[in-house]
Every structure is written in C-alpha cells, then in structure tokens.
Amino acid sequence: MSLGQTFVGLLETRPQHGYDLKHAYDARFATKRPLAYGQVYATLSRLLKHGFVEVDSVEPGAGPERKRYTVTEAGITDMERWLSQPESPEPYLQSTLYTKVVLALLTGRPADEILDVQRTEHLRQMRELTRRKTRGDLADQLICDHALFHLEADLRWLELTAARLHDLAGEVRQR
C-alpha cells in the first residue's frame, strides 16, 4: 500500500494536521503496526515537494507550529490514476515456509512436524481473525475476510504438501 496515496485520500475527505492523519491511518489501516510520526512527516514532505498536498493553514502551538494540510488538484488527479490501476496479484513463489520444508527434507529433519506446527499457527490466527470479525464494523469484517481467505489457501497448500511429502522428499534428494 502506498502511504502517500493513502494520505492524499484521507486529506481529500478534509484538511488535517499530521497528527490527525497518523491517527486516521492507524485507526483504518494499521491495527498492529502504527505509523511513526517521523514517517508521517517525511511522507507529507514528499507530497508537498511533488505538489500533491499544500499547507492550508499554520496554527501556533505550545511546541512547533501546527500545519494543516489539504490535497491539491494534482493530488486528486494522482489519486484517481492510482485508484484506477489494478493491483498486481502477488504469487508467492518464494516462501519461507516452503524453504523450511525443503531444507528439513534435505537435512533429514521431520518436515511433517514443520507443517503441523504451521497448521496450528494458521488455525490460531484464523480463530483470532474470526473473533475480530464478529466484533468489528463492516470495514473490519471485510479486511478480516481478506486475511481469512488467504489463510484458508495456505491451509490447503499445507494439506497438499503434507499429502505429497514423501514424493517431495524423493525429488529434493535427487537434485
């Protein structure tokens, strides 16, 4: 996700201070890893440099002056361009889990245990997301569904790999 475009989109709803942007972003998009203030102001600086936002007003405060940012026409145009471009689906052809399974097979370790531990972790995460989904609003439900569908696909891969582990072990050792 592009932080710059996300800020432009949030600013398109109303002019905001950097502090407000951080909290709006964290509330909607960063439930586990909130943004650092330095990242917020560095991103706003880049957006100013590119002409996508401008300072709407400056307010004196006890500390540094508080700048309120607003989106420009160039920012709106860039946002429309970004929104209209499809995201490239990311096939996971390199996976740490796959690497662990292959290395376990190469070194004579029990790859089935790796798959079992991972399956348990996936199921734990799915239960947590399901609880969050039942308590959340529609936006939270949709992002939880997105994550759950990906975890379900991973579980199918885990089951398929477990079923083919013996054949995979033979191929891995032949290379």
pLDDT in tens, 14-59: 999 999 999 999 888 876 788 999 999 999 999 999 999 999 999 8
pLDDT in tens, 131-156: 999 998 998 899 999 999 999 999 99
Q: Are 48 and 54 in contact (CB under 8 A)?
A: yes
Q: What is the pLDDT of residue 22?
A: 93
Nearest CA to 54 out of 68, 66, 43 is that of: 68
Ramachandran area for residue 108 (φ above 0: left; ψ -120 to 50: alpha; else beta) = left
pLDDT in tens, 159-172: 999 999 999 888 88
pTM of the model: 0.68
pLDDT in tens, 76-130: 999 999 988 877 777 766 678 888 998 888 888 899 999 999 999 999 999 999 9
pLDDT at 1 over 80: no
CA distance 77 to 83: 10
CA distance 48 to 18: 12
CA distance 87 to 129: 24
Tokens at residue 53, please? 């936002």
Alpha helices by DSSP H, the chain: 3-13, 18-29, 37-49, 73-84, 96-106, 111-135, 138-163, 165-174
pLDDT confidence bin for 173, thresholds 50/70/90: confident
pLDDT at 70 over 80: yes
Q: What is the pLDDT of residue 93?
A: 62
Phi first, then psi, for residue 84 (nearest 5°) are: -80, -15
Q: What is the pLDDT of residue 89?
A: 72
Q: What is the pLDDT of residue 87?
A: 76
Q: What is the pLDDT of residue 113?
A: 92
CA distance 160 to 164: 6
